[in-house]
Amino acid sequence: MMRHGGRSDKRSDRGTRLELQSVAGPRLLANMSPRKGTCIVVGASSGIGLALARRLAQSQRKVAMLARREGELEAQAALINESLANEFAKAYVHDVADVDAAEGLFDRIEAELGDVDELHFVAGVMPEVGPDEFDLGKDRLQVQVNFLGAVAWCNAAARRFQARKRGCIVGVTSVAQDRGRIGRPVYNASKAGMDTYLEALRNRLWRVGVQVTTIRPGFVETPMTAGLRLKGAIPADKAAELILGARDGGKAIAYVPRKWRLIMFVIRNIPSFVFRKLSI
């Protein structure tokens, strides 16, 4: 099963009709070169990753779609190509936990589809964790996929983009990274680690014209959130629309949707002795 939006066999990719909202965050680079190279989407078999791959292909970009679930991934790539009457999307089966495979697969994608100038890392796992559970196996998986997987793919992209003095890296973290919650300690920590890593990468690469955009989604309808009954969750396609808007706006950090910027400002400023008693 593909690790995008969580370890779940449930599928959710609803809604495509909401109007574009602005995305908060400082601008990173004023002028970016035209976007025309190959895109990689890590975590592309469902949810936000699939919606991103579809939108990128609709803009006539070649898209390498990476996911663990071979059958679903290939079916989704075929649907995209059929809808566009062209071969823009190509499926590459990949387990994000296999971090050592990233470099070789990046080389293969460039050999087959041409130079990559845009990477979207959307993969993630969020297993159920009981309030009194401390499971190293679950914790290890979250660190391996959510953090080390991101580092492996973003490092591979950064090395190439730095040499070429162009490119764009978009990393999808979570509003969960802003505080250490009771419910899923290592999910929070893995996303916080990824978020800090992306900031460091951005600070390294801006000098050579490479954009690094951090996306902090709030509630989004994905396989990972299926069954959580999240009030106000937006469809995955709407999230993808906002993410690409943040990319095009040269944002360094964007909360998706924008309202989460204010929500998380409040949550970050709740005193620890109060926050520990809350279930948010």
- Residues with a catalytic annotation lie at 187
Rg (CA), the chain: 18
- Asked if residue 225 lies in contact with residue 231, where contact means CB atoms within 8 angstroms, the answer is no
Q: How far apart are CA 159 and CA 31, in angstroms?
A: 21
Q: How far apart are CA 274 and CA 279, in angstroms?
A: 11
The reply to whether omega before 257 is within 30° of 0 (cis) is yes
**102-113 and 150-164 are packed helices; what angle lies between their axes, rounded to 10 degrees?**
50
Residues pairing with 217 in the sheet: 256
- Asked if residue 87 lies in contact with residue 81, where contact means CB atoms within 8 angstroms, the answer is yes
Q: How far apart are CA 213 and CA 256, in angstroms?
A: 12
